[in-house]
Structure 1
């Protein structure tokens, strides 16, 4: 089982379910077990996608008229009233209503075009009350981008509506002309549809050849209509995505806020772990040591041999407590990492692994201490997983720099099956930590092995 971070290495759903496009001599495309009598190009004018896109274009004109009229009215009224206090609330109300219209447009694009656009960042008033809310609306770039959408979308809606209706109606009218041309000789007193006429000449589509040619031209236009409509909706997609979605800066702020929450949670969990280790380990041993030394002091005069034996046992407890404190300090930030860098620190970690580990660090200079620490603890946790779960015979650790990224790769020849998708797994937590600093964790661990874990971190050299 291969587990990847994000979309790396995901199986093709069509291959996974055994559904592939096949073409036979007597059928068109067979898609997902469904057989079609017509090729894709011929049946496109009848597909649900084409009718949804056509509906989107047709609805765009009345909606564009409403949005354009409302936006221009509110902006003009608000700007004209800025000489008084009423201009600010009018502008804020217009922009706030525009956010509601934008939500409606995102829903329309989602339903008819299948376009998924995330909601923009919410308003963040700095304080309470109407004034803080109006200030947030007026300062929000999202509000003004949505107002710009209402202004730009209207002329485009007029153009796309005219093109789509003209092409669609001409195509179907000419294609179906053989079915209704009889109306002209029977009720119009002429042989057929008149193409040209003046005082001397007139051209009618009234013989079988001309009727057939008309239908064929109509077929070509009808077949081209879906692609014309799709090209028109491509511009609509760009407008909705670019003006009604979250801005890159706003998305980055939301991402940083999420990462900050991950960092805070991780730091809190580390503090709880340190407190638990101190309380259950070194602190408990030191309390027991103090009690033993107190008993030894009382027995010193009565039974010196027993007191000496108790002191000797206390000496052993002191060594154990010191070792636990060293391990705890190494888990917080090892001194060897600060003094000698990743090469020596990772070699020390590898020496404590239960399987032989080859360590190769190819770095000319050292990254920032924070990145160096994250890299150390990432490799340390991965080697602990190898010791506990992999049943591997050997492992390797490679560290190098690729442009502005610090690359880590840990490989073992164990049983595989590592899963980074579980919410409570150690690998999932490790991926979250790396993501908090713009890092990436990729896990490739098929059943039977080998397991290959690759991590990327931003370089951020010293002083950056």
Structure 2
């Protein structure tokens, strides 16, 4: 009964596709072909984009039906269209882009096949189911006027000549109806699989679209990197101006005062020398912190693994580190990974309320894979301004802190970031950066 309950809707959907699909496909095919034929006369420049838009809307509807009714995924193969421009030049550019897209011609071929072979596949199951009521009608005596009118009445392979043969039409119709119910779902799926063969993009088109998407993503990430670098330079300038530079200026003024007091008031001069020595020590500490923020010495000297272990030791909450690297990655990769992990750990310590953090770093299949997990309150999001908790998120700073900043940082290296942070925790931040270990 369950199988019948799912097969009858499949038969009804097949009937819908056979009637609506065939009519729509034929109409769109004729309109589009005629519109393209009139392109040379100029009329097609105005009508072809509308006709192709109708074809694509019909094909998109069939894709949704394939996914919903049969679980068949048919990817969209269309190239991005140029931005709309007013005037004849914009119409010519848009029409040319549509005609140059191979998907347009695949759609037209699909319309032809859908109106013929697709209609047969869709109509076969509902036609077999409809044999049951037709057989019952014939058995009730309708066969007689039909036979008298012309004779030669056939019910599939059964030649009806009298009431006894007409009575056989009902059980035979039941048999055909059962067959129709059994084949309804396979035939509907076959119809969608046939559409998939024609509508899906070729492997070359998929590669081209993937490369185009990667180029767009890398272009965006490069722009973000330039903006981030400018912001980082401004931060360094501000830190130097407000920190070490101010202390050095104060030291110069103190030394001038010392020079004037060294003979008049040696005790006061001695106090100023001690203060100048303290200022010089603080200035040196600030410069070291600034240099560490630009590129940690341990990262350059010992590599990413030891730099991450040293970073974990400086965290205010316990961090369990598991790093397995058979060599060293390139300097840009190591720097991006180090500062990304530093940002995640810092945000976990500040905002997550976690008691423990786990850091796992390894290299496999040409990818540097990093996973940071905490047992905090969760709620982190890549686009969040201030997050509720979890191993990252935090407020966006001028240099692009938080998960969005991390995403931009590793995006310049074609890396990807994923976050799982349900409210209540735990939070898992994973990063992948393509690289080769030396």
**Structure 1 residues 309 and 433, CA, compared in 2 at 3 Å: closer, same or farther?**
same
1:154 is displaced (CA, Å) by: 0.4
Is 1:380 aligned to residue 342 of structure 2? yes
**Structure 1 residues 112 and 402, CA, compared in 2 at 3 Å: closer, same or farther?**
closer
How high is the TM-score relative to the length of structure 1?
A: 0.70
- Partner Cα distance (2:65, 2:319) in 1: 56
1:172 is displaced (CA, Å) by: 0.8
Partner residue of 1:343 out of 288, 294, 305 = 305
Is 1:430 aligned to residue 389 of structure 2? no
SS at match of 1:230: helix
Counterpart mapping for 1:57-456 below 5 A: 57-73=18-34, 96-97=49-50, 99-109=52-62, 112-113=65-66, 114=68, 120-124=78-82, 134=92, 138=96, 143-179=101-137, 181-184=139-142, 187-188=145-146, 194-195=153-154, 203-204=161-162, 206=164, 210-223=168-181, 224-242=183-201, 247-265=206-224, 267-269=226-228, 271-276=230-235, 278-279=237-238, 281-285=239-243, 286-287=245-246, 289-291=248-250, 293-294=252-253, 297-298=256-257, 300-302=259-261, 303-390=265-352, 395-412=357-374, 414-415=375-376, 417=378, 419-420=380-381, 423-424=384-385, 425=393, 426-427=402-403, 429-431=405-407, 433-434=409-410, 437-443=413-419, 452-456=428-432
Q: Deviations over 1:57-113 (max 9, x none)?
A: 4333333334443554566666xx6xxxx7xx7887686455423432244326654
- Partner Cα distance (2:321, 2:276) in 1: 39
**Structure 1 residues 395 and 458, CA, compared in 2 at 3 Å: closer, same or farther?**
same
Residues 57 and 160 in structure 1, CA contact (< 8 A), matched pair in contact too: yes
RCO comparison, higher one (Cα < 8 Å, 6+): 1
**Structure 1 residues 231 and 458, CA, compared in 2 at 3 Å: closer, same or farther?**
same
1:139 is displaced (CA, Å) by: 6.3
**Structure 1 residues 405 and 173, CA, compared in 2 at 3 Å: closer, same or farther?**
same
Counterpart mapping for 1:26-41 below 5 A: 39-41=1-3
- Partner Cα distance (2:180, 2:291) in 1: 75
SS at match of 1:423: coil
Aligned Cα RMSD in Å?
4.2
Residues 309 and 321 in structure 2, CA contact (< 8 A), matched pair in contact too: yes
Q: Deviations over 1:332-358 (max 9, x none)?
A: 333432343212322332232224545
**Structure 1 residues 54 and 238, CA, compared in 2 at 3 Å: closer, same or farther?**
farther
Aligned length: 407
- Partner Cα distance (2:152, 2:211) in 1: 61
- Partner Cα distance (2:155, 2:373) in 1: 79
1:150 is displaced (CA, Å) by: 0.4
Counterpart mapping for 1:21-60 below 5 A: 39-44=1-6, 46-47=8-9, 51-52=12-13, 54-60=15-21
Q: Deviations over 1:284-310 (max 9, x none)?
A: 232354246326524642555445434
Q: Deviations over 1:373-397 (max 9, x none)?
A: 2221222223223433455565553
Residues 78 and 101 in structure 2, CA contact (< 8 A), matched pair in contact too: no
How high is the TM-score relative to the length of structure 2?
A: 0.73
- Partner Cα distance (2:179, 2:211) in 1: 45
SS at match of 2:370: strand
- Partner Cα distance (1:185, 1:147) in 2: 48
